[in-house]
């Protein structure tokens, strides 16, 4: 009895301490503990709860670590439609909205039209349902009427209270987002080709993962901006935001009651630059009528409420000078030009580099070293050079010269007649290519070796402990634990991750090998046609060309890869290392609904992440592509689809919504 009393007291103390430090980190942005110290507190709590399972409660911080694997997300109907706001980039349209609301309220005999101005978080809309104080459901917006129940994933987000001091049935709505620091750490842990373009993309993809433990590791946040179900139905919006804070929700706190139009304009102007100093991305200002009792009277259009609007800040641009162009080497030896810029402050950060993609892009821009250029950053992590100020070209401007030798290993570069890029052919010894191949091999869509990050790969290659992916499976803890930033625990984690990767599918391995032109879709077709690596090696170019998704160029690339002695040595090591080199069972095709179709996804989907959606298409006989052409069969357009949608419409390609896509499945 004494033990359980002590355990109950210690558990209560740990929970209080963990919630306090979680609040300091996510709400106040004033952490007092390191991540390591925080994790130790959580480990103590979980150990005690495991020893005394009767003391576990639904609102314990231990319930946020995840672990549930969700086969599929159940569709749920929202209590009230989750409408999206009308967007505008024009202050003139903001004024029109303000005057329109004023006129509509006057018809109702209402003279008070104060607006609440809030910062617009660039995240994913979510609805939370609480019953008798406990969180019982978290759902995506979906089509506004129905969304997906993603409660296991929602419970992992620290700024979402698992319990609130309010009875009855309460609904809270808001945005799940990712703080800049957490986003940077997530991207740093991923191979370069697998990195997310911006925090919103990372958030949208993370919320639809089927492994809630992985969701927990991504450290997302939640901002609340809507409260319904309280007894005081008359309570204005400003007071509801304050009530949300009292209930333990993060609201951003940067909101203001605006009684006149000039107050709104002042708020928008104030945060145009100030927002970049915040620890999270904001892309505009949301205006809502403060009088909630008038919302229903004003009503809504088919998609948006008439009592609210979102003003979005225009893309940020800045002039700077191109100091130089350096050349990076990719895992396949591709040489990518990178602009080194005169440091310039843009969108809250100092920009000193930007990719130039390839030498065709340099020619298209007409860019020269020492040119004055315009760079742009619109919610993107990596800025881009959009134009050259030709009228200000200096007399010392010099053309960008294509390098003749690899900047990493000094090997003479080559260029195929049909391609725009230059390549380093020294794939066996070029350190940059070795590092790139290892990072690709360990990436999430390949062998998913979570503990193998860039810093560790750099070390392993530098000391020549690893020369190819096969060497990974013979690493021992003593070799690793003395490396920089490793230690015994990290060494154990890597060895464990490598052990887990041995069970990854043959299809994943084919993609992980990094064969030129062989993406995930092609790897799947190859695994179906040749269910073992031995059978695949024996296939001729002519035989490979009969496989769906494979033409003469890809077939030649596959045969060329397996003909190299380095590839044969790699496969021998992988075989000896216990990696699966054959399919354990035949891949079953669900149906043929997408037979012969090429499908492109653009924008953020609500019910699937991009990988899941692609798997659904490929499992029904279709191919997934990344660029639009006249030969594209179908474009599935999600939220904020971008330029690919415009191109699809121009080519006359069929475009469908996510709901229509689901029907086609």
User: Each residue of 103-116: pLDDT tens digit?
Assistant: 999 888 888 889 99
How many CB atoms neighbour CB 34 within 10 A? 9
How confident is the model over 399-414, as a mean pLDDT? 93
Q: Is the pLDDT of residue 642 over 90?
A: no
- Give the model's pLDDT for residue 212: 80
- Is residue 492, in this structure, part of any structural domain at all? yes
- Give the model's pLDDT for residue 357: 81
Domain identity same for 129 and 229: yes
**Residue 174 CA from chain centroid, whole number:** 18
- Is residue 591, in this structure, part of any structural domain at all? no
Domain identity same for 173 and 272: yes
Give the domain CATH number at 195. 3.30.470.30
From 379, 399, 419, the end of a domain falls on: 399
Residues 352 and 382 sit within 8 Å (Cβ to Cβ): no
Of how many residues is the chain composed? 665
Domain identity same for 131 and 278: yes
- Is residue 156, in this structure, part of any structural domain at all? yes
Q: Is the pLDDT of residue 381 over 80?
A: no
pLDDT band at 585 (very low <50, low <70, confident <90, very high): low
Distance CA 222, CA 384 (A): 30
Distance CA 504, CA 509 (A): 7
Q: Is the pLDDT of residue 1 over 70?
A: no
The more confident residue out of 629 and 173 is: 173
Distance CA 265, CA 187 (A): 36
The more confident residue out of 233 and 263 is: 263
Q: Is 489 a catalytic residue?
A: no
Q: Which listed residue (120, 312, 377, 467) is catalytic?
A: 120
Give the domain CATH number at 24. 1.10.287.610
The more confident residue out of 3 and 310 is: 310
Domain identity same for 379 and 323: yes
The tally of CA atoms less than 13 A away on the side-chain side of residue 26 is 25
From 546, 576, 606, the end of a domain falls on: 576
Domain identity same for 103 and 154: yes
- Give the model's pLDDT for residue 67: 52
- Percentage of residues in the chain with pLDDT exceeding 70? 91
- Is residue 368, in this structure, part of any structural domain at all? yes
The residue among 437, 570, 453, 582 whose CA lies nearest residue 508 is 582
How confident is the model over 394-400, as a mean pLDDT? 93
How confident is the model over 589-595, as a mean pLDDT? 74
Domain identity same for 438 and 483: yes
Q: Which of 11-25, 52-66, 322-336, 432-446 has the lowest mean pLDDT?
A: 52-66
| Cut 0.75: pTM above it | no
Q: Is the pLDDT of residue 609 over 80?
A: no
Q: Does an H or E element contain 494, and which?
A: helix 487-501
- Is residue 282, in this structure, part of any structural domain at all? yes
Q: What are the pLDDT digits (tens) for 465-484?
A: 999 999 999 999 999 988 88
Domain identity same for 555 and 482: no
Q: Is the pLDDT of residue 604 over 80?
A: no
Give the domain CATH number at 556. 1.10.150.20
How many CB atoms neighbour CB 376 within 10 A? 17
Q: Which of 190-199, 278-287, 303-312, 576-585 has the lowest mean pLDDT?
A: 190-199
- Is residue 425, in this structure, part of any structural domain at all? no
Residue 98 structural domain = 77-312
Distances from the Cα of 511 to the Cαs of 214, 412, 427, 446, 588, in angstroms?
Answer: 22, 28, 18, 6, 19
- Give the model's pLDDT for residue 605: 77
- Give the model's pLDDT for residue 68: 54
Distance CA 611, CA 544 (A): 25
How confident is the model over 285-298, as a mean pLDDT? 93
- Is residue 416, in this structure, part of any structural domain at all? no
Q: Is the pLDDT of residue 586 over 50?
A: no
From 13, 41, 64, the end of a domain falls on: 64
Domains: count for the chain: 6
Q: What are the pLDDT digits (tens) for 162-185?
A: 989 877 899 999 999 999 888 888
């Amino acid at each position: 009895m004494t033990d359980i009393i002590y355990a109950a007291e210690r558990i209560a103390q740990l929970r209080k301490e963990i919630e306090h430090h979680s609040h300091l980190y996510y709400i106040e942005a004033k952490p007092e503990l390191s991540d390591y110290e925080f994790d130790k507190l959580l480990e103590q709590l979980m150990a005690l709860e495991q020893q005394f399972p009767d003391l576990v409660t639904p609102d314990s911080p231990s319930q946020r670590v995840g672990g549930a694997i969700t086969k599929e997300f159940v569709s749920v109907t929202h209590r009230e439609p989750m409408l999206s706001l009308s967007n505008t980039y024009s202050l003139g349209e903001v004024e029109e909205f303000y005057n329109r609301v004023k006129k509509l309220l006057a018809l109702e005999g209402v003279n008070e039209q104060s607006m609440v101005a809030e910062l617009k978080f660039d995240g994913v809309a979510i609805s939370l349902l609480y019953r008798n104080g406990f969180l019982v459901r978290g759902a995506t917006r979906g089509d506004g009427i129905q969304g997906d129940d993603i409660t296991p994933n929602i419970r992992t987000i620290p700024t979402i209270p698992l319990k609130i001091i309010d009875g009855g049935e309460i609904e809270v709505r808001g945005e799940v987002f990712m703080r800049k620091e957490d986003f940077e750490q997530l991207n740093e842990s991923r191979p370069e080709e697998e990195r997310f373009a911006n925090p919103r993309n990372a958030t949208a993809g993370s919320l639809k993962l089927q492994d809630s433990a992985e969701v927990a590791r991504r450290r997302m946040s939640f901002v609340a901006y809507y409260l319904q179900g309280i007894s005081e139905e008359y309570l204005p919006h400003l007071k509801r935001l304050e009530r949300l804070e009292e209930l333990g929700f993060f609201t951003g706190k940067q909101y203001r009651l605006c009684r006149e139009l000039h107050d709104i304009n002042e708020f928008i102007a104030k945060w145009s630059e100030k927002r970049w100093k915040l620890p999270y991305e904001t892309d505009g200002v949301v205006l809502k009528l403060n009088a909630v009792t008038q919302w229903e009277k004003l009503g809504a259009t088919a998609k948006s409420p008439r009592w609210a609007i979102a003003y979005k800040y225009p893309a940020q641009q800045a002039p700077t000078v191109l100091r130089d162009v350096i050349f990076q080497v990719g895992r396949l030896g591709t040489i990518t030009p990178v602009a080194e810029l005169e440091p310039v402050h843009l969108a809250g950060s100092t920009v000193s580099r930007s990719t130039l993609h390839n030498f065709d892009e340099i020619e298209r821009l007409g860019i020269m070293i020492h040119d004055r250029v315009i760079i742009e950053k619109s919610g993107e992590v990596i800025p881009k050079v959009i134009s050259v100020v030709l009228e200000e070209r200096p007399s010392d401007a010099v053309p960008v010269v294509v390098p003749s030798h690899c900047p990493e290993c000094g090997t003479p570069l080559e260029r195929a007649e049909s391609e725009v890029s230059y390549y380093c052919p020294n794939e066996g010894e070029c350190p940059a290519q070795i590092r790139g191949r290892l990072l690709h091999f360990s990436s999430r869509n390949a062998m998913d070796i979570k503990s193998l990050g860039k810093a560790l790969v750099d070390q392993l290659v530098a000391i020549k402990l690893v020369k190819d992916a096969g060497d990974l499976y013979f690493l021992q803890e003593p070799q690793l634990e003395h490396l920089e930033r490793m230690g015994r625990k990290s060494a154990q984690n890597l060895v464990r991750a490598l052990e887990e990767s041995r069970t990854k599918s043959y299809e994943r391995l084919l993609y992980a090998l990094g064969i030129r032109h062989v993406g995930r879709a092609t790897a799947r077709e190859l695994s179906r046609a040749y269910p073992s690596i031995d059978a695949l090696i024996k296939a001729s170019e002519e035989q490979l060309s009969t496989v769906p998704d494979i033409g003469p160029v890809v077939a030649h690339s596959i045969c060329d890869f397996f003909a190299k002695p380095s590839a044969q040595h790699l496969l021998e090591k992988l075989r000896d290392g216990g990696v699966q080199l054959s399919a354990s069972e035949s891949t079953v095709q669900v149906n043929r609904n997408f037979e012969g179709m090429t499908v492109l996804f653009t924008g953020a989907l609500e019910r699937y992440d991009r990988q899941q959606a692609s798997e659904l298409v490929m499992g029904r006989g279709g191919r997934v592509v990344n660029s639009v052409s006249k030969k594209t069969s179908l474009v599935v357009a999600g939220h904020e689809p971008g330029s690919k949608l415009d191109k699809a419409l121009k080519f006359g390609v069929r475009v469908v919504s996510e709901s229509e896509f689901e029907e086609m499945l």
